[in-house]
Amino acid sequence: MPRPPRSSLPQPLFDEPVFAQGRPTPDPTRFKVPHPSDAALYRRLQALLYEDVVGFPRSRAAPEELYRLATALGPHGPEIDADLRAHGRIVFHMVGDIGASTEGKYPGEIRVSDRITQDCRLAPPDDRPQFLYLLGDLVYDFGEARYYYDQFYEPYRNYPAPIFAIPGNHDSFIVPGTPPSEAPLVTFQRNFCAPEPVVTPEAGSLHRTAMTQPGVYFALDAPFVRIVGLFSNALEDPGVISSQGGEWKAIPDVQLEFLSAQLTRLRDERFEGAVLLTTHHPPFAYAPPAGGVGGGGTHASSPAMLAQIDRICTETGVYPHAFLAGHAHNYQRFTRSIDFEHGRISVPFVVCGGGGHDVDPLVQARGGHAGVEPADGTVVSYLDPEPQVEARGLVLEHHDDRTYGYLRATADPNSLVLAFHPVGTGAMPAEPFDRVVVDLASHTVRRVAGTPRRAPTGETDRPARPERRSSRAARGARRPGSGPR
């Protein structure tokens, strides 16, 4: 039956403003622009993004309990787990901010999801990624159930392995008037924290079953790696993992107990693999120094959140080998040097938020002045003004704010490798744009020869790199049985 001509539909279709309502544009890739009548609503919503946090339920798992990769894999999990341990390494993907909120963004998301999926199929068996870990902001604008298919299930329909996720602000912020049953975290939990691996309505006719994480925060245990994931809540900025002493009354403090229990467990069992800590909001996001030219990117650092994490790390005597986050739609890799326990350690803090939603510049024009892009290697310790550990310097090591991309991580008994693979429109690059190796025993970042350096586009300030101890010296200083630091 022929479709009725568009002009025969009643106009307007709705009798009140609808988000994403707009007017067609001559540019078919942009399709819509906000309708002027929505301006006041958008302004009010924009304000709420910095005011409204959300509560969330306690995890089904006890604070010290692990969620094992073998569990997610189902009946063959123990067998695959044993194979990985026998092989001596594990490879996995990480990326944040995948959701395409408009038709114009969809090609970006598809390019990234296709490349990540292609990596699984092209890699030789002993180098094949075993899972994808999403760093939040899966479904825009605010985790609507009706967009899970388009923005998550369909793009990753061919990813041949489990997909885990921590929620981002776009997966949790509640638009006023949303029925409780349709709150974004309800949908997120239905699809990622299901008690059983069922097919949800959001998956449509696809066969991917819901992930069975015990909660929106959880500790994923896999061969050679443990990933402690925290939910950093619904604000645009900053990230918040607790009530912060009652300041955010809606947020329970259960994650503090969870983090402490997990780090204590790592210490007590003398875990020797790589320890990663993930939050959607990055502890560090680049911004020019006070008085500098231009402004920072679209998202800022979260110092109060990091302070809480640092204090728990100090109390337990365990510091993660790397921090991973998204939220900022670009790639940033910092190295933070710390005097911790009995020696100096260095820790990568990585932002990998170019999963397809957008690519944002690291610096923006401000006050009529164009932003000045920092040179890689710039000391940015001003981003860490009141550290709750013995911080000894913060360096912006690498960044990419021009292409989408994802992380390919490799862990073995000796090292953790984080490699950033940019995704453009061309063929798969043979080498990653950036690659960092963390020596697990010494807990130090090892520079990788041959890593291409990005040419600075503005003024440079290239002080000396932070002091690093040799692996041998640091290993000798490590307290036996202290586990990861």
State the Rg of the chain over Cα.
22
Decide if residue 355 touches Fe ion (CB under 5 A): no
Decide if residue 344 touches Fe ion (CB under 5 A): no
Contact in structure between 361 and 335 (CB atoms under 8 Å):
no
Nearer to Fe ion, 169 or 264 (CB): 169
Nearer to Fe ion, 67 or 248 (CB): 248
Rounded to a whole number of angstroms, the minimum distance from the CB of residue 237 to Fe ion is 9
Residue with tokens 């041998």: 472
The Cα 324–Cα 85 span in angstroms is 24
The Cα 24–Cα 186 span in angstroms is 33
Q: Which stretch binds Fe ion (CB under 5 A): 43-51, 129-137, 209-217, 365-373?
A: 129-137
Decide if residue 137 touches Fe ion (CB under 5 A): yes
Decide if residue 155 touches Fe ion (CB under 5 A): no
Rounded to a whole number of angstroms, the minimum distance from the CB of residue 327 to Fe ion is 4
Nearer to Fe ion, 168 or 273 (CB): 168
Decide if residue 168 touches Fe ion (CB under 5 A): yes
Q: At what angle do helices 303-316 and 254-268 cross, to 10 degrees?
A: 40
Number of C-beta neighbours around residue 290 at 10 A: 6
Decide if residue 435 touches Fe ion (CB under 5 A): no
Nearer to Fe ion, 168 or 294 (CB): 168
Length of the chain in terms of residues written: 485
* Contact residue for Fe ion among 327, 344, 357, 478 (CB under 5 A): 327
Nearer to Fe ion, 89 or 327 (CB): 327
Rounded to a whole number of angstroms, the minimum distance from the CB of residue 323 to Fe ion is 16
Nearer to Fe ion, 65 or 360 (CB): 360
Rounded to a whole number of angstroms, the minimum distance from the CB of residue 280 to Fe ion is 6
Rounded to a whole number of angstroms, the minimum distance from the CB of residue 109 to Fe ion is 15
Decide if residue 101 touches Fe ion (CB under 5 A): no
Decide if residue 333 touches Fe ion (CB under 5 A): no
Number of residues that bind Fe ion (CB under 5 A): 4
Decide if residue 167 touches Fe ion (CB under 5 A): no
Rounded to a whole number of angstroms, the minimum distance from the CB of residue 423 to Fe ion is 19
Rounded to a whole number of angstroms, the minimum distance from the CB of residue 356 to Fe ion is 13
Kindly list the residues in this chain that would bind Fe ion in the complex (CB under 5 A): 137, 168-169, 327
